[in-house]
Structure 1
Amino acid sequence: MERTTIRDVAKKAGVSITTVSKALNDYTDVNPETRKHIQEIARQMNYVPNVAGRSMGGRVDKVIGLLINDLRPMDPSGAVYGILSGVCHACQDNNIEFILMTTDGHQQAQRSLKVLCLSKQLTGLICTGFRLHDPYLKQLDEIDIPCAFIDVRIDNPDVLDITMDNERAAYEAVSFLIKNGRKNIALVNGGPEADVAILRGSGYRWAMEEAGLPIQPNRVLDAGFQEDIAYQRVRHLLERDSSVDALFCASDLMALGACKAIEERGLTVGDQIAVVGFDDIPSARYLYGGLTTVRQDFYLMGYMAGKAIYEKIEGKTDVRVDNMMYELVVRNSARGKL
């Protein structure tokens, strides 16, 4: 990425470099209107101070940044910690600096991805927790450092996709339910703004259509990957459709909400209604006699992302990351033969 210099800002503003420096550092001896004018030009030109140039003789260490979107107070799935620790350990193993950053929709609208990367002196970037409509996904052509996205397919050959085969994993989970006698299977999905939800929904449809089972729109629920919303959606579903005999949930958190709704109806999870989740979160093995789920390795995702970005920084041209492995773990909530 070509960096805008203080000299460029001074030339555009028609003032000296000293005046620009004072204006950007809010010195009181600069006319307020001039200060405002210079600050606006600097903003328009995506100018950020060259912090590395002020120290260590201008030497820049190689730095990989992990950017987490919409970080929440709690992480019951363990996904954030798993990815974070995986990236961190990959950086440690390859002796490269690592920093953690967070963002959200508002911050993305306020500061471009290019400015963020420049201000943090990044030489590599890993992104997780992003949705398809997030602004930064449209700004990837503006950065020229190695970049990877976890669980989002990016239509850019220079950006690495770190993910598993979500469609096939969902297909296998629903096929397992069908193989073990379930015919009236509902889907509790995460919403169209999440790429993994699109793929897991596609896997559900694939399995149902292959088995010749009808896909009823009222049995396709959007719960936004939230346990409480899944509870409400499933509760309403069971009130109007007593023939449902299985639920495929695109996350374990939603599966737990679904199980709660089932039990409140006086039904038994695993017998009258089978439930399959996705992720294998830490609590999945303990609740409702054990949750049948698709296990994925968040730590490995983070580690492979960090390793791949390090290799690209070092100039390796043929870096590729195969889809992560997954496993259907059968427990009490949906029993049967694989």
Structure 2
Amino acid sequence: MNIPTIKDVAKAANVSVATVSRVLHNLSGYSNKTKLKVLQAVEELGYHPNAIARGLINKRTQTIGVLFPDVSSGFSSDILHGIEEVAHEKGFSVIVCNTAEEGKRTMKYLQVLREKQVDGVVFTSEVLKDEYYQALKEMGIPVVLVNTQSHKYMIPYVKVDDRQAAYQATAYLIQNGHREIAMISGTLGDTVAGTRVEGYRQVLEDHDIQFLESRVAYGDFRWESGRKAMELLLADAPPFTALFAASDEMAIGAMGAVFAKGMRIPDDLSIIGYDDLTLAKITFPPLTTVHQPLAQMGRLASDKLIALIENSQDVSSTIVSHHIVERQTVRSKG
């Protein structure tokens, strides 16, 4: 079967190829009757892509943008899987942008998405800075946040209760007899990281355990930073028997530093992570961690965004549930 061309459209509509091109690019120089004839020919022939004609009619491109600080991470890929699943079901394409650490390329990619005329944006993990919000506002399209939220701007979000999840992760270590507990947090100044530190700190206070700033090291949620943070803690922090890492990747990096010191997990040191990535299941020993339903979070975000695009209706934010997955990296001291 031959794929229809722009010439086929022109012939079917009884107009020139130039006129078809002008219609498809929404330029001037033709009557409304001609425009309707061209769009009808596009639809009837199935000219690639059908979305062109639909977009000219409903002013949409059937495309959404997704901004990730690190598209290569297991965390991002799980969320993206959920986003794409719903987008595909509803006839939308997805443009994925890697904004890099600390949002170095966020403004650049917001401009790219503006030029691509995306219908909406899923913004993940980063702090929604004022400049990002203003750029999105100027684009005039809906936005949904994932794994982050804004206390300044009323934008729907999908996330776990990070403070409560960190509280429960640290409480799990305490319940297993540990009182000297260190933490590897995410990026200093990051709201998600700060909220997890708050949960860690609060549970220590609730169990009459002194919070020591020297037992907290900071990474960037990636495994390399977890290894470096663990090396720092082992060298400089007061002795500790357990560690809460604010991401699985950092927990796995920390495990590497522990093994390099000739220590054993969980015999010499217990570790709990955060995310429940596939990596957590296949590392040795398998990592005890906090499960957050990343693919579900992606699906919910995509569903909310498309609802805003298609109906312009308000959607609510969602706090998804989390739970601890017990594996083999936490030893009971009882």
Greater shift, 82-91 or 128-137, is seen at: 128-137
Distance 1:162 1:51 in 2: 37
2:226 pairs, out of 226, 230, 236, with 230
Is the CA contact (8 Å cut-off) linking 1:63 and 1:121 kept in structure 2? Answer: no
CA distance in 2, matches of 1:232, 1:106: 22
Q: CA deviation at 1:287?
A: 2.0
Task: Give, in whole Å, the separation in 2 of the partners of 1:183 and 1:268.
Answer: 19
Q: Which residue, out of 297, 305, 309, partners 1:309?
A: 305
Please report how far the alpha carbon of residue 296 of structure 1 lies from its aligned counterpart in structure 2 after TM superposition: 1.4
For 1:230, the aligned partner's letter is: G
Measure how far apart 1:301 and its partner are. Answer: 1.1
Rounded to whole Å, the distance in 2 between the matches of 1:266 and 1:253 is: 21
C-alpha contact (below 8 Å) 1:108/1:135 kept by paired residues: no
**Superposed CA RMSD:** 2.7
CA contact (8 A) 1:189 1:249 kept: yes
1:163 and 2:136 correspond: no
- What letter matches 2:240 in structure 1? V
Greater mean alpha carbon deviation, residues 176-185 or residues 150-159: 150-159
Instruction: Specify the code of the residue in structure 2 equivalent to 1:311.
Output: A
User: What residue in structure 1 maps to residue 243 of structure 2?
Assistant: 247
In the alignment, structure 2 segments of 5+ residues that lack a partner are: 1-22, 28-51
> What are the ranges of 5 or more consecutive residues in structure 1 without an aligned counterpart?
1-49
Aligned to 2:67: 68
Q: Matched residue of 2:290: which SS?
A: strand
* Number of aligned residues: 283
- TM-score for the superposition, normalised by structure 1: 0.75
* Corresponding residue number in structure 1 for 2:322: 326
Structure 1 residues 143 and 319: alpha-carbon distance in aligned structure 2, compared to 1, 3 A threshold: same
> Aligned match of 1:293 in 264, 289, 296?
289
Tell me, yes or no, if the aligned pair for 1:63 and 1:124 is still in contact at 8 Å: no
Matched-pair identity in %: 27
Partner of 1:83: 79
User: Matches of residues 1-338 of structure 1 in structure 2 within 5 Å?
Assistant: 53-54=26-27, 56=53, 58-59=56-57, 60-71=59-70, 74-75=72-73, 78-104=74-100, 105-110=103-108, 113=110, 115-131=111-127, 135-155=131-151, 158-241=154-237, 243-315=239-311, 317-336=313-332
Q: Distance in 2 between matches of 1:228 and 1:256?
A: 9
User: Per the alignment, do residues 284 and 320 of structure 1 end up closer, same or farther by CA in structure 2, a change over 3 Å counting?
Assistant: same
Deviations 1:38-78 (A, max 9, x none): xxxxxxxxxxxx98525649333352423224445x42xx2
1:126–1:254 distance in 2 versus 1, CA, 3 Å? same
Change (3 A) 1:150 1:119: same
Is the 1:64–1:126 Cα contact (8 Å) retained in structure 2?
Answer: no
AA partner of residue 192 (structure 1): L
CA 183–304 in structure 1, closer or farther in 2 if over 3 Å, else same: same
Contact kept, 8 Å, 2:65 with 2:118, in 1: the verdict is no
